[in-house]
Amino acid sequence: MELKTLFSPQKIGNVEIKNRIVRSATFEHRAEKYGYVGQKIIEFYDELARGGTGLIITGFTGIDPSATVSPYQLRLDNDSYISGHKKLVNIVHDQPSVKLAIQIVHSGRQGDHPKFPSVAPSPIPEKTTGLTPKELSIEEIYEFIKKFKDTAIRAYECGYDMVQLHAAHGYLLSNFVSPYTNKRRDEFGGSIENMAKILVEIFYRIRDELGKKFPITVKLQTQDSVPGGLTLDVSSKIAEILADTGYDAIEPSGGIYESQLTNKNSYPCKISSSEDENYFLPTAKVIKPLIRKSKLILVGGIKNPLSAEKILNDNHADFISMCRPLICEPNLPNRWKNGDISPAKCKSCNSCLINMRIGPVHCIQKKPKQIKKTRILGW
């Protein structure tokens, strides 16, 4: 079976991607202290860009000093960060036709910052940190909307090809779309439309500033995997609202920190057989027909290029997105394109995520150059 579709070009908004392979965002723990771009993170993305991925999405980047979960997480909340991000963009763009998106985020109720309280739409205690977040006022919500907009504008000025809002995995934007964490009864809660409002507002503010020349995408929570949490019947309606609003692409995902307390198989899932792969494909099959105006990026246990090709040909997704396989094999897209179509070598053991808590993310199958032991939580 040839991989004609997997290695065919496709557009997100006005940006053409050379193939259908996306590097899904993950926290790299490779920024310099206080979130500045340095040599460690530049080398990491240079290797990814050389590996043949069509679109690389950066690890989540803070929109405010209070937004981060680690001092080694990227930030772009003021102009002092711009020069470093320009260097990162230029390194990636040195490789032919490789595009780079920036994922922007606020940690929300999962934040554990020593100087700033965690915040959320409602003061629901977070069981993994033991903290109760501060409930945001209407005025504070609009302040964060502006900060998301301002960070997206800085990203455009740095040369990024597009932006992705991180509205998944229990961070602030996903807190709004989940009935588990949003108990409000004002303009930002209650109805599905109100829960989606913060994402609609951020979209319009970015689009008003930059027009259609800068695609706006979203990583969207579709299921919380906790009792009383977000389910697909609600999130599919939110996805439809966002597509109708004009989002250029949606990457459905799921799971929050607390999911691991009640569901050992919560995202990111360990994969022991081919039946465990492509675990968000059933979600994509529900959402794809509802978002005809947006591209769908499928993430979640994709390891076999033949199944990826079939997913694309069956029109269940427009792009396939990988993270752990590309930590293990940054050159994986080139390997597949050059004819070695054996599945990714990644064993889905999640050691990369465990190691990420003490130093730069890496695969245990690859010897890291140097690991500086620090912590992402607890500072």
Residue 243 CB partners (closer than 8 Å, separation 6+): 250, 290, 291, 292, 293, 294
- The pairing of strands 216-223 and 61-62 is unpaired
Active site residue 171: yes
Sign of CA dihedral 64, 70, 72, 74: negative
Q: Rounded CA gap, 274 and 299, in Å? A: 15
Q: What is the DSSP string of 176-199?
A: HH-TTT----STTSSSHHHHTHHH
Helix (H, G, I), strand (E, B) or coil at 103: strand
The greatest distance separating any two alpha carbons of the chain, rounded to the nearest whole angstrom, comes to 55
Q: What is the DSSP string of 315-334?
A: TS-SEEEESHHHHH-TTHHH
Considering the candidates 45, 156, 171, 180, report the single residue annotated as catalytic.
171
Q: What is the CA radius of gyration of the chain?
A: 19
Active site residues: 171
